[in-house]
Amino acid sequence: MFFSVWCHLYKKLPPALPPDFFFVYLIAKPEAMPNIKFSVNINKTNKTTGLAPIRATISFQGKNHRKNIELVKPAFWNKLKQRVKPNREGTPDNRHKTINKLLDDYQSKTNAFFNDCALQNVQLTEKIIVDFLDGKEFSKSKPLDFNTIFLEFLTTTKVTKAPRTYTNHVTVFNYLTQYQEYKNTRLTLNDIDLSFFDGLQDYSFTIRKTQTNYFAKITAVLKTFLNWSAEREYYTGTKHLKFKAPEKNIDTIALAIEEFQQLYSFNFENPRHERVRDVFCFGCLTGLRFSDLKELKRENIKNGYIEIVIQKTKDPAKIPILSEAQSIIDKYSQEPTLLPVISPQKYNVYLKECCELAGIDQPTQKTTFIGNKAIKTTKPKYKLISAHVSRKTFVTLFYSLGMDVKMIKAITGHTQDRTFDKYLKIEDEKKKTEINKAWGKVPSPKENMDDDISDEDLVSLIKESRKSGKGNINKIMDFLRSQEDLEPEK
């Protein structure tokens, strides 16, 4: 029985393989092993010399990878043996011995290479095949699996990262796993190069229709992971430093002062809406993130201030409590927590309902990008409101009320202007007020003239200008006409 199975499998082995390859073949799954063949590309025959390229073809996972390695006249090629036929006696040497030895060596080297990969459990990838054909050296030691190291990264950093940051890292890991499934491959850290990034970018924008700014976040997390891997000597590459995914400036969604007051004072029939509204408005009055709002306790309130360690940055913060915010605290004094916070998913759903009921429904345009393509959509404003809008509303409201930017940043904890600017929506009325204020500082032409100049001196000045050809006489006359309503000279 064993002998018949052995013979059946042996017949399926590729030609010209060493005897001991059979045992590797059993272990390494036949369908996963590459197959090398030699052929002559007749279509590329040189019309002058009559020579055509001999190309090596490695088939892997249904895809062919080719490389030209020699030249021969098609008439001398033996398709069955995949070698050059000897030339007849008395005819010019066709170099069959030299070429066939090269092909033998090439096949032997190929079989030995993939043999070693199978013995050492190196998972073959398309990149390994291409690099081998290009003559690039490849370490026979097993490359570190991308997913395995990323999971270690998640486990290690979980204790040092804010919960939301950790969740974002997990989301990016799942995204990259889906990309590997789409490409039908399993990445190693050796695969991380610019070609990998180009493929990921194409998948994101073409297949997934991922927004440009979210892809920028994916890239940032990926680079953080690779830097972490480099510090632990898991990864020695530097190509990731060239990964570029700039964010696009998009519309900032925030409540105007009238909208905030409208929502703050609205009487809801459903207590659920009232509680969600109060949490949101508290965020608008303090600038705290939702992740910090849900962690607030009564001991965080001290002498008219909120004293808290920010979840995301781990920095201490001390925020003054406005009377409107204190009213919200007092309303829930009998609750076990400072604020009636619910899960983020339900919170965002109910928040949109609150804003719709309160009449915050002005048509609002939002611009997003997929790659470089801008996509503009207009929706009622309540549909664009989410938990993070409260923080953006805080920045926008207090800036429009004239609060110093440095003071606002001291409360929100922003340290970079670039990040802070994403939170700031400058209202049209603020722009109008500021531009009129600035232009009001420009003196009028009338203010530039000396009120004490006599008529005689002015006439002398005009005559002198006419004689010398200096000065702008027309400008002087235009001014006089504007002051005296004089008729134009005829």
Provide the β-strand partners of residue 316.
309
What is residue 89's predicted lDDT score, i.e. its pLDDT?
82
Token pair, residue 308, equals: 């808290």
pLDDT value at position 456? 67
pLDDT at 50: 92
Tokens 């190693």 belong to residue: 188
Query: What is the block-wise mean pLDDT of the chain (490 residues), using blocks of 10 residues?
Result: 38 43 38 78 92 91 87 93 89 89 90 78 76 72 82 90 89 96 92 94 94 94 94 87 87 89 96 96 94 92 92 88 94 90 92 96 88 89 93 89 87 73 60 64 58 62 62 59 54
User: How many Cα atoms occupy the beta-carbon half-sphere of 275 within 13 Å?
Assistant: 15
The pLDDT value recorded for residue 417 is: 66
Q: What is the pLDDT of residue 389?
A: 93
Nearest to 319 by CA among 398, 428, 389: 398
Distance CA 339, CA 327 (A): 12
